């Protein structure tokens, strides 16, 4: 018997690249990896994988991607950290083209199982106004008041998965990822997220000899961060499960951004003066993942500690920085308007 073909879209990106890597490690041989970026910009590329460069906002690319396949992991999206999604709302919403065409193409191709990477940005903003959070349960997505732009698109697309499942019997699985971090992802250029950005800023402070770091907002905003290995394990478990409704996939280890900076300082062995940029894009005041349902349904939840994950991530960002800029300082972001200083 021939093994089933698995399609991973957004495979040139951070999570998609790690998912391909894990499936290769698990001995899967019929993997089709699709992304619109040129191949030399993919974070990970494997021999023996069918690597396809295609724009999945076009229906015909989605049809070609799904041809002769049985499973789809849909991770492609035009997205980035808070600095990107708060300033590119229309672009984030245009990912609806990818999700619409991919679902329609998957249904037409007779795909047996379809995974969609949703986000904690679907949750009602009114439940996230205090840094001392009550962790978000899956039911907190409704009544709907998600993150403007990016979150609305994610909520709409996960809803489409539900209706494709109910009306067309396409078996869909949906994970709501909470901030994923780790090596082999974006760490500069404007789309990077807080953990990688903080690692890069610490490297820059060391290289520049100016022991200072800029923090967006007051630094009191709280989040949880999931290490990439937990994200991949959870994604595969959710795909294999019989859970049809969206599940949180996130760490429940809550930290403030100030604490995250403190952790990276400890790892790097440096203490920095902190500059606060109150006008920078912030997102919600606090957010954590309630893992009761994933524990109950899958008897599993993310468990890699922030310290372990950040040690590996800092080392990777540090080395990537040195490789790219040869030990010199690269171009640095300028502080958003309104930045001011405060000591530790």
By CB under 6 A, tell whether 77 contacts ligand NAD. Answer: yes
- What is the C-alpha separation between 101 and 62, in angstroms, rounded? 6
- What is the C-alpha separation between 83 and 73, in angstroms, rounded? 26
Beta strand residue intervals within 208-334, DSSP E:
212-216, 222-224, 226-227, 247-249, 254-256, 273-277
Question: Which of these segments, 73-81, 106-114, 267-275, 333-341, binds ligand NAD (CB under 6 A)?
Answer: 73-81
- What is the C-alpha separation between 287 and 222, in angstroms, rounded? 6
173's enclosing H/E stretch is: strand 172-177
Cβ 314 vs Cβ 197: under 8 Å: no
Minimum distance from residue 208 beta carbon to ligand NAD (Å): 27
Minimum distance from residue 205 beta carbon to ligand NAD (Å): 24
Question: Which of these segments, 52-60, 122-130, 207-215, 235-243, binds ligand NAD (CB under 6 A)?
Answer: 52-60
Whether 46 is catalytic: no
Burial string for 83-93 (b: 16+ CB within 10 Å, else e) reads: bbbbebbebbb
Q: How far is CA 85 from the centre of its chain?
A: 12
By CB under 6 A, tell whether 284 contacts ligand NAD. Answer: no
Q: Which of 116, 150, 227, 321 is catalytic?
A: 150
Of 321, 55, 93, nearest in space to 192 by CA: 321
> Contact with ligand NAD (CB under 6 A): which of 98, 135, 136, 320?
98
Indicate the residue among 13 and 246 with the shorter CB distance to ligand NAD: 13
> Contact with ligand NAD (CB under 6 A): which of 6, 7, 8, 13?
13
By CB under 6 A, tell whether 75 contacts ligand NAD. Answer: yes
Of 84, 79, 114, nearest in space to 8 by CA: 114
Q: Which residue's Cβ has the minimum distance to ligand NAD?
A: 13
Minimum distance from residue 269 beta carbon to ligand NAD (Å): 27
166's enclosing H/E stretch is: helix 150-168
> Contact with ligand NAD (CB under 6 A): which of 8, 15, 23, 203?
15
Footprint (CB under 6 A) of ligand NAD, residues 235-254:
none
> Contact with ligand NAD (CB under 6 A): which of 5, 36, 88, 274?
36
- The residue ranges that bind ligand NAD (CB under 6 A) are 10, 12-16, 35-37, 55-57, 75-79, 98, 117, 119, 177, 179-180, 185-186, 193
Which residues are designated catalytic? 150
């Amino acid at each position: 018997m021939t093994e089933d073909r698995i399609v991973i879209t957004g495979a040139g990106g951070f999570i998609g690249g790690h998912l391909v890597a894990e499936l290769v490690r698990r001995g899967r041989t019929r993997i089709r990896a699709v992304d619109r970026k040129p191949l030399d910009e993919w974070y990970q590329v494997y021999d023996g994988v069918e690597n396809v460069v295609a724009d999945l906002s076009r229906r015909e690319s989605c049809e070609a991607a799904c041809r002769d396949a049985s499973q789809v992991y849909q991770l492609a999206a035009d997205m980035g950290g808070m600095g990107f999604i708060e300033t590119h709302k229309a672009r984030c919403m245009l990912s609806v083209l990818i999700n619409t065409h991919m679902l329609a193409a998957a249904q037409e191709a007779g795909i047996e199982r379809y995974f969609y990477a949703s986000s904690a940005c679907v949750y009602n903003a009114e439940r996230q106004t205090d840094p001392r959070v009550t962790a978000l349960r899956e039911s907190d997505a409704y009544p709907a008041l998600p993150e403007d732009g990016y979150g609305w698109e994610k909520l709409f697309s996960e809803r489409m998965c539900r209706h494709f499942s109910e009306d067309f019997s396409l078996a869909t699985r949906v994970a709501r990822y909470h901030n994923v971090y780790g090596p082999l992802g974006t760490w500069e250029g404007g789309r990077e997220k807080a953990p990688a950005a903080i690692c890069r800023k610490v490297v820059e402070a060391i290289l520049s000899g100016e022991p200072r770091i800029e923090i967006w907002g007051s630094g009191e905003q709280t989040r949880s961060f999931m290490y990439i290995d937990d994200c991949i394990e959870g994604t595969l478990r959710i795909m294999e499960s019989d859970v049809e409704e969206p599940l949180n996939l996130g760490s429940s280890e809550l930290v403030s951004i100030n604490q995250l900076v403190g952790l990276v300082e400890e790892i790097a062995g440096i203490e920095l003066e902190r500059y606060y940029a109150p006008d920078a894009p912030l997102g919600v005041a606090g957010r954590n993942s309630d893992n009761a349902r994933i524990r109950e349904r899958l008897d599993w939840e993310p468990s890699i500690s922030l310290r372990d994950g950040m040690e590996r991530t800092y080392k990777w960002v540090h080395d990537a920085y040195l490789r790219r800029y040869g030990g010199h300082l690269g171009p640095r972001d300028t502080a958003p308007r309104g930045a001011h200083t405060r000591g530790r």
